[in-house]
Amino acid sequence: MKKSYIWSLPTRVFHLLFALFILISFLTDDDKLLKYHAITGYSILILLVFRVYWGYFGPKYSLFKDFPANKSEAKEFFKNIFDDKQKYIGHNPLASYVMIAMLIVTFIVIVTGVLAYGIQDGKGLASFLNDSFFKNMKLFKEIHEFFANFLIFLIVAHLTGVAFDRVFHKKHETLNSIATGYKMTQEDESIKLSIFQKIFAIVMFIAFLAFLIFNIYKPNNALVASKFEPIDYKTQNLAFVNECGSCHTLYPPNLLPKKSWVLIMSDLENHFGDDASLDEDVNKNILTFLLKNSAETSTMQASWNFLNSIGDKDIIALSKTTYWERKHKKIPKEVFKNEKVKSVANCKACHSDIEKGLIENENIKDISDFM
């Protein structure tokens, strides 16, 4: 057997970065890390652009037309799957199918991720869709997660194929070729890159690095920026800030539905064990403001979830909703007894931006601060 150079440096670098950033995307699939999750997705998209171009204008064996992805080849491959004299220099039929599926599914995952990020969180390039589709935010998230899970299946299939090849076709050194570019073949089939292929690969690599550097120096760019701006409630209703914010967290009006605000403002004499009675005109003024900006008027994820959780129930405390309980069930009870928190009602102890009308996951304080 002869040593053939079949995987060019750009192909190998793509493979490494593709695997690395997909791993990072799964590691950052957390509410507090969504910004980095989104940037990772955009980074993978750049890699996909390179790979699609490489699949049409790259070197031999990296070209899609060289993939033996057809029924006859697949049938022959499975018939002789244990034969150590495999004729496939590049991808075998099964690997070809998996590779093409991974590229397609990864693209779908990114697109659905952009849509889910924009519709559910009101962030990124698709944030303009939040107003129209926020009621279907759960659906878009589920679609994104379905394809992400399918991608995991394809990755497992790919790794299984690599392991199988390592055991039954060891002499071909397929696994080593991923790192070295060289594979043992029947004939010398080494490739060479043209000047145009080299230039394109260099330009794409520089663009990829530039994109990462750009996001480091400008972390709140349009790709991840939120459509929701901090609110200065003093300029909107000073009485609301003075009367409500002087005793407890200044809860944003958009977290409770109109019914709950009416119940609260109509029984201030028994306001969670205290008499918080207000002058009639002041009461009316604040209530009007609360109703105008209630959960029904907001497209924020938290607003929609609290609204659905409360439904027709006479609930006036956020902590009494099933949504609140579900989001906080993993938090140890000791946290709420900490002197910095003291009560489940003290939202601002953890949500540093809540009194600005926001509940951004990345601004939630770490539990360890209260342990």
pLDDT digits (tens, 9 = 90+) for 183-197: 766 666 788 999 999
Average pLDDT, integer, range 49-68: 93
User: Higher pLDDT residue, 246 or 121?
Assistant: 121
Do residues 122 and 298 touch, judged by C-beta distance below 8 A? no
Question: pLDDT band at residue 67, thresholds of 50, 70 and 90?
Answer: confident
Query: 131-145, 152-166, 241-255 — which is least confidently predicted?
Result: 152-166
Which of helix, strand or coil describes residue 49?
Answer: helix
> What local confidence, expressed as pLDDT, does residue 184 receive?
67
CA 358/CA 351 separation, integer angstroms: 9
Picking from 88, 96, 93, the residue whose alpha carbon sits closest to that of residue 187 is 88
Q: How far is CA 362 from CA 36, 49, 139, 185, in A?
A: 10, 30, 23, 52
Which of helix, strand or coil describes residue 123?
Answer: strand
pLDDT above 70 covers a percentage of the chain that reads: 92
pLDDT above 90 covers a percentage of the chain that reads: 69
CA 67/CA 55 separation, integer angstroms: 10
> What local confidence, expressed as pLDDT, does residue 284 receive?
96
User: Higher pLDDT residue, 149 or 72?
Assistant: 149
> What local confidence, expressed as pLDDT, does residue 122 receive?
96
> What local confidence, expressed as pLDDT, does residue 173 receive?
63
User: Which stretches of the chain are assigned E, i.e. beta strand?
Assistant: 2-5, 182-185
Q: pTM of the entire structure? A: 0.89
> What local confidence, expressed as pLDDT, does residue 109 receive?
98
Picking from 129, 96, 114, the residue whose alpha carbon sits closest to that of residue 45 is 114
> What local confidence, expressed as pLDDT, does residue 165 receive?
73
> What local confidence, expressed as pLDDT, does residue 88 receive?
67
Average pLDDT, integer, range 308-325: 94
> What local confidence, expressed as pLDDT, does residue 337 receive?
86
Average pLDDT, integer, range 170-191: 72
Look at the block and give the residue holding tokens 């039954």: 168
- On the question of pLDDT at 112 being above 70, the answer is yes
Which span out of 185-194, 223-232, 336-345 was modeled with the highest average pLDDT?
A: 223-232
- On the question of pLDDT at 267 being above 80, the answer is yes
> What local confidence, expressed as pLDDT, does residue 170 receive?
66
The Cβ of residue 18 has, within 10 Å, a number of other Cβ atoms equal to 19
> What local confidence, expressed as pLDDT, does residue 286 receive?
96
Average of per-residue pLDDT values in the chain: 90
> What local confidence, expressed as pLDDT, does residue 19 receive?
96
Sort residue 357 into left (φ over 0), alpha (ψ -120 to 50) or beta. left
CA 292/CA 130 separation, integer angstroms: 20
Average pLDDT, integer, range 10-37: 95
- On the question of pLDDT at 371 being above 70, the answer is no
Look at the block and give the residue holding tokens 């928190």: 341
pLDDT tens per residue, range 272-303:
888 999 999 999 999 999 999 999 999 999 99
> What local confidence, expressed as pLDDT, does residue 87 receive?
65
Tokens of 80: 């002789």
> What local confidence, expressed as pLDDT, does residue 14 receive?
96
> What local confidence, expressed as pLDDT, does residue 126 receive?
96
Picking from 72, 67, 92, 91, the residue whose alpha carbon sits closest to that of residue 82 is 92
